[in-house]
Amino acid sequence: MTDRTSTETLNRRRFLGAAGLAGAGAALSAIPALAGETAKSEALITDVQDWQRYLGDGVDKHPYGTPSKFEKNVIRRDVPWLTASAESSVNFTPLHDLDGIITPSGLCFERHHGGVAEINPADHRLMINGLVDKPLVFTMDDIKRMPRVNKVYFLECAANTGMEWRGSQLNGCQFTHGMIHNVMYTGVPLKVLLDEAGLKPNAKWLMLEGADSAGMNRSLPIEKALSDVMIAFAMNGEALRPEQGYPLRAVIPGWEGNLWVKWLRRIEAGDQPWQTREETSKYTDLLADGNSRKHTFVMDAKSVVTNPSPQAPLKHKGRNVLSGLAWSGRGTVKRVDVSMDGGRNWQTARIDGPVFDKSVVRFYVDFDWTGQELMIQSRAIDSTGYVQPSKDDLRKVRGVNSIYHNNGIQTWLVRSGGETENVEIG
């Protein structure tokens, strides 16, 4: 290919992109496809490749499969400076590398307060005590003999996007929005276990407690406990991963991740909340006037464009797929709007795939890009009519020190070369 032809190709591509953006879609189909005109034969096609000639691995090679070696960068990542110790810390789901709504189990972000407890399920016990007719102890075998349900829910850490309260800090949706995962849980409705023990009429709160070295404990209002809370032993069709609470965890749909107690060993019924460390010192939201909200359980409607994003820049002019995730702890996602110009104008995105209660949805906008600068935003609207606010709207109510529950609209600046940045706009 000569320099002249490649320049011509580039110019034609630019022209096509511009035409697409101008909405001249009908004209596009009349123009012959570019690929066939000046293409040079590729050795990848004309030469016989190794994988076509030689035998590959047999069925006995991988009893439990792993992703292709070419996907080795699709991994959880952590930010070492965030915490004093890796055992009481967090890592992040690589949202920019994923699609659909189900997070692969091995990529689900982790948040521990005392490392991963390794528990033989034969040694695990669940106790129910307190304001019940009969305090009980269950084995895992007992729990697996109870009527079970399958549900897809998102789990979002209360601190997701928390580092962004004062402004843009981390450059990638993995780091700004990756304290979330969305999987199918199999387990038993908590109500089934509580009925077995028999709640006393004055039982208004439950305390959930983990078997790990943090002894994680949180208070849960009884109304929520009896509605949709699950005690899960499986995720995505197989046993929970150790880092997700194997063999047993609480599933508290729509509510902040900290309540989803892992390695769940005890449930106590009481008549008032316990005001544990994780609902006083932590997971309370300090406002600008020095007062703090507590028991801010629900995760509000939120969304993020995962592609393009800083870790997934635009690589091609012309046709592109904008993709993202939206979710709400208050119900289902009804609509997602996307702006390319920093919130001046919005278009409604296409939601594709299942829309479940308190689960993420996947949205897309198929678009043509000429190489102009974009300020990309997404805005989720849920079934209660809640509209995801801007970060500035949140700051007006809460200030910048509330750490948790930052569901403000994210802006990505796509520069003319396709490089994409986490920015704040004003």
Partner 1 sequence: MSKSANALTLVLAACLLGGTSAPSAAQQMAGRDVVKPSAKLGLGRAATAEEIAAWDTDVRPDGRGLPVGKGTVKQGDDLFQEKCASCHGEFGQGVGRWPVLAGGAGTLKADRPDKTVGSFWPDLSTVFDYIKRAMPYGNAQSLTNDEVYALTAYILSMNDIVKNEKFELNEKNFTSIKMPNAAAFFEDDRETSEKHFWNKNPCMKDCRPAPKVTGRAMAIDVTPDGKSGPKVE
Residues 359 to 398 in contact with partner 1, rule: CB under 8 A: 375, 379, 381, 384-389, 393, 397
Could you give the C-alpha distances from 162 to 119, 270, 400, in angstroms and in order? 31, 32, 10
Ramachandran assignment for 290, one of left (phi > 0), alpha (psi -120 to 50 degrees), beta (any other): left
Contact residue for partner 1 among 31, 37, 38, 145 (CB under 8 A):
145
Contact residue for partner 1 among 341, 350, 366, 417 (CB under 8 A):
341
Q: Quick one: tokens of 196?
A: 């077995």
Long-range contacts of 9-18 (CB under 8 A, 24+ apart): 9/34, 9/38, 13/317, 13/318, 14/317, 14/370, 14/371, 16/318, 16/368, 17/317, 17/318, 17/368, 17/369, 17/370, 17/371, 18/370
Q: Is 114 in the site for partner 1 (CB under 8 A)?
A: yes
Q: Is 109 in the site for partner 1 (CB under 8 A)?
A: no
Nearer to partner 1, 101 or 327 (CB): 327
Contact residue for partner 1 among 56, 65, 201, 290 (CB under 8 A):
290
Strand partners, 189: 230
Contact residue for partner 1 among 12, 13, 149, 171 (CB under 8 A):
171
d(CA 324, CA 303): 7
Binding span for partner 1 by CB under 8 A among 20-28, 229-237, 263-271, 362-370 = 263-271
Q: Is 99 in the site for partner 1 (CB under 8 A)?
A: no
Q: Is 310 in the site for partner 1 (CB under 8 A)?
A: yes
Q: Is 2 in the site for partner 1 (CB under 8 A)?
A: no
Q: Is 123 in the site for partner 1 (CB under 8 A)?
A: no
- Of 223, 211, 307, the closest CA to residue 261 belongs to 211
Contact residue for partner 1 among 58, 84, 201, 223 (CB under 8 A):
84
Query: Are the beta carbons of 294 and 280 closer than 8 angstroms?
Result: yes
Contact residue for partner 1 among 177, 265, 334, 362 (CB under 8 A):
265
d(CA 378, CA 338): 4
Contact residue for partner 1 among 32, 62, 291, 315 (CB under 8 A):
291
Nearer to partner 1, 60 or 289 (CB): 289
